Structure 1
Amino acid sequence: MKFEASRVIQTVEQLGDAQFTGPGGLARAADFIAEGFHGFQWQTDRRELRGSRFGELVFGRTAVIGCATLITIAVFCWLTPGQFNLAHRAGMVLCLTALLWECLRLAHCRYGGWNWPPWERVPLIVARPTVNCSAAVRVVFQVPLGEVLPASLPDPRFTLMIVLYHVVLFLLKAKGLPGWLFLVAAGLGQAAIWFKAIRGFRLFRSNSESSAASSAAERSGPAFLLELARSWPVSRSKRLETICVAAGGQRLGHAGAREVVRLLKREWQDKPTLLVIVHGPGIGQEIVIEARRNRPLAATAAEDLWIPHRTMTSNPFSALTFLWPFQDSFKDYVALFGVGCLGEKETKLDGGALDRTAQLCTEISLRWVRQQRQKPVPPEEDRTASRSVQNPG
């Protein structure tokens, strides 16, 4: 069956209904998605996980700004001993107050009233066309479910590296590190912190939790996954085992994503597996590709299909929260983002971009399968290779 972008847009509108917001809205949305997979005769496994609200503390706007300011004040106090004046004290009090407010905000239920223990139920949906698949390779399509984090906020790896960097720096200063060298090293650390903090504040300035781009990205992922499952040919299962995953809890310690990593390492390690992460499909005209081992494969597929795209290189200083913890724990992945999810001004859901994303997902999967089985090809045969696996010739 053909992928129909109009069905995705219709599902996005349905997920924007009032019944899928507020208390219990995420659970009802998960039920809606699971019923959709059942309607396509897919085998569905719906799980409930625990997600801690304090896991959001590292990513909160107030926490990032407050932590950056505290470290900056500490550096200046170290450089100017004996000059801990009223301005320093006032700054530290304000930062500590901001951090305390962030903790209290997270401990408080977002819908009113106090909730203890400080965790929430996180849904995880795993769907496949058939349970016992004899294919030698596997592709997992994963989308976030529910509230999502802005991409420009630091992931835990970045936060940990910055903290360790400054701890080592202060220890070296105590051991006699020259003042000018300490100043240069501290400046580099401050630049990294404030770069992330300013980007996070810029993205949050319009209340990203309820912004158009964030809201559309939250709903377009599950809607896209449902339509991809509906249009996925059953005959393709003979050569490729397909699994669709909708993982919640990105704001709750990445509970769903961490469970997907556990499945990849413990339950799905029996055959070569490619993870395709799709976030905010159709949000903007362009598709952003991030990958490690499979970057050439994904970029070539997009070029051969004439799809507007750009590639992104991820490192600890530009890491995407969308990709944590896959960046550290599972290297065989390809991530596709709608450009509107990365702070661009484009927030409208585009039907053409949805079609291109589905086409690129299929093309990358089929090329990866062929790559797993392929042997060295003679030069004569290589010259006649088709541009697309989906439409050879």
Structure 2
Amino acid sequence: MDIEKLRKEIDSIDTDIIRLLNQRCELGCKIGAWKHEHNMPIYVPERERQLLDRLSAANPGPLDRESLLAIYREIMSAAIKLERPVSVAYMGPQGTFSHLAVLEKFGRGVSAQPVAAISDVFRAVESGRADYGMVPVENTTEGVVNPTLDSLVTSNVKAVAEFNLPVHLFLYSAGPLEEIRCIYSHPQPFGQCREYLQANLRNATLIEVTSTTRAMELAERESDSAAIAGAMAHEHSDLPCIAENIEDNSRNITRFLVIGKQENKPSGDDKTSLCFALHDRAGALYDALRPFRNHNISMTMIESRPLKSGNWEYCFFADILGHMEDPEVAAACSELRQDCAMFKIFGSYPRVIQQQ
């Protein structure tokens, strides 16, 4: 085998790739100009879904699916940046899981804007300070993220996409495990590694802080302290990692929603998020769910939250399969709306199928 010959073949292919990438970007710029002229959104989730599905189906290997999609995510991110710079707000600071979700979903070509709280992400999109927002909505270990549900009810923005982020947790400390006396982290990571903490650090004091990045900052100051954070936190700190993958559930996943102002067209495999409040009577919830059964619509999530307007009054949040423009979904929602004290559709967006 002549390795120099192989390297020359790779160099030639790289030259072709660069040429083709630039041709692709030139076409992207023309599409961006058309979108601007017709007042169309730069980011189109249904087009993204169709493109990634086509690429996956056309991939003969040996490049695996996830690597291929990661490469194209950056290609699409660079193309979006050329069409028009796009900003995405998230609950910061840098290095949090929300920040990682922005980069994994949109690539490095967008402007990631950290804000102080989930409600601030909604306000940034509503006011136009950000084009989109990335907010956590549920976790496979800890359940729903209540501040996101509350903000969806009161905000005028739409759910335009979803993204599933595998969450792996790491223990960072300047000292050894046996000398740790207190641990800093956000409440969610604490809840996601209870078994590890009970087995290995049951005598340590757990201190909740606003973010995993803040936890790293505090743990850096004390030799007998530690922080629980994600892998990305290490990029913003010199604190050593002393334990990896300490989450209790090996399939620990946080589902995020991308929020914006647009309404998506059907992609062919969609999900719709909505909420409704019912009049207080026996069998109200049973009757409310009947239209979904009658129209053969699958529900993937339902959760209740107290309404802020009264005592012991609840709002139900649900995800159903299908797009709000689908005839069966539209008919079921119309029937449900008639029996509700309040009804709101947050948006329809391409469904993410988690890979095994």
Q: TM-score, normalised by structure 1?
A: 0.27
Higher strand share: 2
TM-score normalised by length of structure 2: 0.30
Give 1 or 2: higher helix fraction. Answer: 1
